Amino acid sequence: MEDKRNIPIIEWEHLDKRKFYVFGICMTMMIRILRTEGTAGLYRGFLVNTFTLISGQCYVTTYELTRKYVSRYTSNNAVKSLVAGGSASLVAQSITVPIDVVSQHLMMQRRGESMGRFRVRQQDGKGLLVFGQTKDIIGQIFKADGFRGFYRGYVASLLTYIPNSAVWWPFYHFYAEQLSSLTPKDCPHLLLQAISGPLAAATASTLTNPMDVIRARVQVEGKSSIILTFRQLLAEEGPWGLTKGLSARIISATPSTIVIVVGYETLKKLSLRPELVDSRHW
């Protein structure tokens, strides 16, 4: 079916897969590392970053293939985006959660803070971190909780990120289409997409922030029950506790979302099959 949208979506069948994966791996590595740690990040935590690349590629592949599959049953872009976004997040989180568990301990260590159960007491009562390098953290988690320790907060992550991803994509396309109808026809599509990304991220973050707060508590504090964690949070901080970090989350997500959107849309345009290059505008 011909795409009648003002900003046509580049679908899976429009891509040269070899270009898509070669360019995609390089672009994902640069975006994920440079936006968080700068150039030094290119040489730090290589093992963790490698698994992050796998997660990113699995996410986009699942998203595009699911869109293609769902298109057999409906031409509604919102439905395709919602189902594909949720499915992609499910696959990616199965890879990402263990990375997050380890990374959170690394981040807290850099700030000089302890991580709940994972510390020892000195005679003066001060907490002394026992986590050093990544391999030491992995060993401590496995010793304490076994394989399950790497998936602590997995259900909470799914309840956070699946809705977030499922909501982000439809809103992203919705905002891009609305902006396109309000701007001159010669306005660069990439600019409209770069604006739409943060708008969609702010919308998705607002809707899913409560579960993100609970997820962080479950993973960091080693809790096993989402319901008990929710009740404890309400008892300690009230309903406002569920909005904790929302403004910071939106603000911090804006620059990274712009980079990701511009990178991904550029990747797809660079990966277009030769006969379709002139049919898509920047």
Instruction: State the total domains in the chain.
Output: 1
Instruction: Say whether pLDDT at 57 is over 50.
Output: yes
Look-up of token digits 């690349």 = 53
Contacts of 2 (CB under 8 A, 6+ apart): none
pLDDT at 157: 77
Instruction: Say whether pLDDT at 1 is over 50.
Output: no
Inside any domain, residue 69:
yes
Inside any domain, residue 166:
yes
Task: pLDDT band for 25, please (50, 70, 90 cuts).
Answer: confident
pLDDT at 86: 94
Q: What are phi and psi of 118, to 5 degrees?
A: -90, 75
pLDDT over 90 for what percent of the chain? 22
- Separation of first and last alpha carbons in the chain: 22
Taking CA atoms, 246 is separated from 2, 45, 202, 217, 240, in Å, by 39, 28, 9, 15, 11
pLDDT at 21: 86
Inside any domain, residue 141:
no
pLDDT at 185: 83
Task: pLDDT band for 274, please (50, 70, 90 cuts).
Answer: confident
DSSP class per residue in the chain: ----SSS----GGGB-HHHHHHHHHHHHHHHHHHHHH-GGGGGSSHHHHHHHHHHHHHHHHHHHHHHHHHTTT---HHHHHHHHHHHHHHHHHHHHHHHHHHHHHHHHHHTT--BTTBEEE-TTS-EEE---SHHHHHHHHHHHHGGGGGGTTHHHHHHHHHHHHHHHHHHHHHHHHHHHHHS-TTS-HHHHHHHHHHHHHHHHHHHHHHHHHHHHHHHHHT---HHHHHHHHHHHH-GGGGGTTHHHHHHHHHHHHHHHHHHHHHHHHHTB-GGGGGGS--
Long-range pairs, 170-175, Cβ under 8 A, ≥24: 170/77, 170/78, 170/81, 170/82, 170/85, 171/199, 171/200, 171/203, 171/204, 172/81, 172/196, 172/197, 172/199, 172/200, 172/261, 173/5, 173/9, 173/77, 173/78, 173/81, 174/78, 174/200, 175/199, 175/200
Domain that holds residue 238: 12-111+148-279
Cβ(273)–Cβ(13) under 8 Å?
Answer: no
Each residue's pLDDT tens digit, 195-204: 999 999 999 9
Inside any domain, residue 269:
yes
Each residue's pLDDT tens digit, 76-113: 999 999 999 999 999 998 888 887 777 776 666 555 55
Q: What's the mean pLDDT in 205-228?
A: 74
pLDDT at 126: 38
Inside any domain, residue 129:
no
Of 256 and 174, the one with more pLDDT: 174
Instruction: Say whether pLDDT at 63 is over 90.
Output: yes
Inside any domain, residue 138:
no
Of 85-99, 172-186, 244-258, the one with minimum mean pLDDT is 244-258
Inside any domain, residue 162:
yes
pLDDT at 130: 39
Inside any domain, residue 46:
yes
Q: What's the mean pLDDT in 241-250?
A: 77
pLDDT at 167: 93
pLDDT at 32: 63
Each residue's pLDDT tens digit, 113-165: 554 455 533 434 433 343 346 677 777 777 777 777 778 778 877 887 898 89
pLDDT at 125: 41
pLDDT at 178: 92
CATH number of the domain bearing residue 87: 1.50.40
Query: How high is the mean pLDDT of the chain?
Result: 77
Task: pLDDT band for 51, please (50, 70, 90 cuts).
Answer: low
